[in-house]
Amino acid sequence: MIVYKTEEEIELIKQSANILSQVHGIVAKHVTEGVTTLKLDSVAEEFIRDNGGSPSFKGYNGFKHSLCISLNSAVVHGIPSQYALQSGDIVSIDCGVFFQGFHSDSAYTHAVGEVAPEVTALLQRTKESLYKGIEFAVVGSRIGDVGHAIQTHVEQYGYGVVRELVGHGLGRDLHESPEVPNYGKRGQGMKLQEGLVLAIEPMVNLGSRHVVQENDGWTIRTRDKKPSAHFEHTVVVRKGKAEILTTFDYIDKALN
């Protein structure tokens, strides 16, 4: 079932998204060599709770942490651990915040120290593809238009677009209908209408699109062990231009 949001509900999601965006900024300051991924997780949870929210992921289907932290060839759903970040790593930070009855969801992939040029390019182009997809999150477009925009942008560089994992609607539930694939054909799929809130989240591999699940039951990794990037925003379908509720501005400030 598709749940369209009222303006009052969108305002609450916006408040959740503002906390989430700040979380990403706080965590970004800690993404440095020698810091454990468990430390990043604790920093995020403390900020979320101090600001009246709760971590959307913690307890979700038994997941025990506030962040999904996916390193290098891990695509998504990585589990925080005692692993200390090293120069050359890339680390995807995926977080959700539940506040005043509504979820928000966003992700950002960071480079740690000196990263190979081809990996730096992967991050930049995956981030670009997110905004290419968002351009089509407007009234009258179709789900396929969003995925097609993402897919065509990254495949021109020879990257693989993950098929098994997709974006989604969200609101009172973390995952709502519809699914939002990062690939597709123009003019296909559900027609988008005002008030639909979506998490758009390209997951793009330096090598092939194929993935495997680790024995931990959570971590999804590239089959060829090549790096993967993941960027995500919570957006509202609007007439003419999508409204992006999450922002990377806090991350940009932290990194600069």
In the chain, the number of structural domains is 1
The answer to whether 172 and 3 have CB atoms below 8 angstroms apart is yes
Which pLDDT score is estimated for 164?
A: 96
Question: Can you give the residue range of the structural domain that contains 224?
Answer: 7-255
* Binding site listing: 77, 94, 105, 168, 175, 201, 232
Which pLDDT score is estimated for 127?
A: 98
* Binding site listing for substrate: 77, 175
Burial class of residue 52 in the structure, from the number of CB atoms within 10 Å of its CB (0-12 exposed, 13-18 middle, 19+ buried):
exposed
**Is 165 a member of any domain?**
yes
**Is 135 a member of any domain?**
yes
Q: What percent of the chain has pLDDT over 90?
A: 99
State the pLDDT confidence band at 231, using cuts at 50, 70 and 90.
Answer: very high
Q: How far apart are CA 190 and CA 113, in angstroms?
A: 42
**pLDDT digits 0-9 by tens, 174-217:** 999 999 999 999 999 999 999 999 999 999 999 999 999 999 99
Q: What percent of the chain has pLDDT over 70?
A: 100
> Structure pTM?
0.97
Average pLDDT of 71-81?
A: 98
Here the CATH number for the domain that contains residue 128 is: 3.90.230.10
Burial class of residue 51 in the structure, from the number of CB atoms within 10 Å of its CB (0-12 exposed, 13-18 middle, 19+ buried):
middle
- Residue 36 has a CB neighbour count (10 Å cut-off) of 16
* Binding site listing for a divalent metal cation: 94, 105, 168, 201, 232
Nearest to 235 by CA among 168, 155, 149, 164: 168
The answer to whether 53 and 97 have CB atoms below 8 angstroms apart is yes
**pLDDT digits 0-9 by tens, 110-140:** 999 999 999 999 999 999 999 999 999 999 9
**Is 1 a member of any domain?**
no
Which pLDDT score is estimated for 39?
A: 98
**Is 244 a member of any domain?**
yes
**Is 2 a member of any domain?**
no
Which pLDDT score is estimated for 109?
A: 98
